[in-house]
Chain A
C-alpha cells in the first residue's frame, strides 16, 4: 500500500531551527510537496522536490532523497506565525497526491 509518515507534533523555540521529516512508500514517484496549513484555513504551497537535493526558499528549505524515500522541511529563524501544521504529500505514478497526516508545529517564545 501507499504510506507517508511524519511526526504528529513537534515543539520548537522562536528564533531556532526545526526539521520536519517525512518518509514515503508509494507506487511510483512524480514529486513531493510540502504544504503549510494554519488552523481553520486551507493548505498553502511551500515547496516541491522531484530531484534529489536541497531546495532553498527564504527561511524554508526542503530536501529529498528518492533512494531513501525521505524528505525533510527545514524552517530557520522560527517565528510565532510559523505555528501550523505541515503536510507532506507525494505524487504517485498516476499523478495522484498521497497525503501524510501532517505535523503540528508548536512555537514557544
Chain B
C-alpha cells in the first residue's frame, strides 16, 4: 500500500512554455501533498505544501505565480511550471502524507525530470 505516482516521469520543453506535473496517491487519501525540487548532487528542497481544497503554502524564495499548485481532490495534486526557463531544469518530486496512518510518513512519487531547452 501507500503508492504515489507521478506523471510524466520525464519531460523536455522549450523555454517559455508551461509544463504540468501530476502527483497521485493511488491507494490512500492524501489531505497533504508536498512538492520538492532537487538539483544534481544537492539535497531535497521543499517548494510548497499542498492541502486539499485550500491554497498551497510556498517556501521562502519560491515564486507562487511561477509554480502553480492545485490540490483539487484527496488523491491528486498538480504542479505547473509556467514560462519555464533553463534554470528550472531539475528533478521534481512529490510526496503525500496519509493522515490516517501514523507515523505520518511521507510517501514519495518516482519524480519527474524536467529539462528546459
Contacts and interface: CB of A to CB of B under 8 A. Distances in A.
B110 A91 contact: no
B54 interface: no
Interface stretch (B14-22, B71-79, B81-89, B101-109): B101-109
Interface residues of B, number: 18
A91 B91 CA distance: 23
Contact of A31 (B93, B103, B108): B103
A42 B46 CA distance: 14
Given A33-B105, A50-B103, A95-B104, A42 B93 contact: yes
Contact of B111 (A41, A100, A101): A41
A42 B111 CA distance: 6
A101 B45 CA distance: 9
7 contacts: A30-B103, A30-B104, A33-B105, A48-B103, A97-B34, A99-B43, A101-B43
Given A42-B111, A45-B107, A101-B42, 14 more contacts: A30-B104, A31-B103, A31-B104, A33-B105, A40-B91, A40-B113, A44-B108, A87-B44, A96-B49, A97-B46, A99-B44, A99-B46, A102-B43, A102-B44
